[in-house]
Amino acid sequence: MKVATGAMKVSLVKALRLYKMTREGKIKNFTGIDAPFEPPENPDVAIMTGSLSIIDSVQVGLDHILPLVSFKQS
């Protein structure tokens, strides 16, 4: 599945340890550090996080994903 989000929201992920490891040279070709962000050409869902609230962004994702998930009762 491909998901398109706002590039600004993607940059917020920089707090992750992976970014630190990339800056230290332990990971190569990492989006946002030493490789460009390339949005998918035909995303399955587009979440416009720049114009939606967090709640609305999550709802868009759930509206797309939940119909694809099956739940089993134990």
Residue type, 49: T
| CATH number for 42 | 3.40.50.300
Torsions phi, psi of 64, nearest 5? Answer: -85, -40
Angle CA 40–42–48, to nearest 5: 70
Per-residue pLDDT at 20: 81
The answer to whether position 24 is within a domain reads: yes
Integer Cα distance of 58 and 72 in angstroms: 23
Model confidence over 19-68: pLDDT tens digits?
788 888 898 888 878 888 888 899 999 999 889 999 999 999 999 999 99
56 within 8 A of 50, measured Cβ to Cβ: no
Residue type, 50: G
Total domains, the chain? 1
Per-residue pLDDT at 52: 94
The answer to whether position 74 is within a domain reads: no
Integer Cα distance of 6 and 16 in angstroms: 18
More confident position, 61 or 14: 61
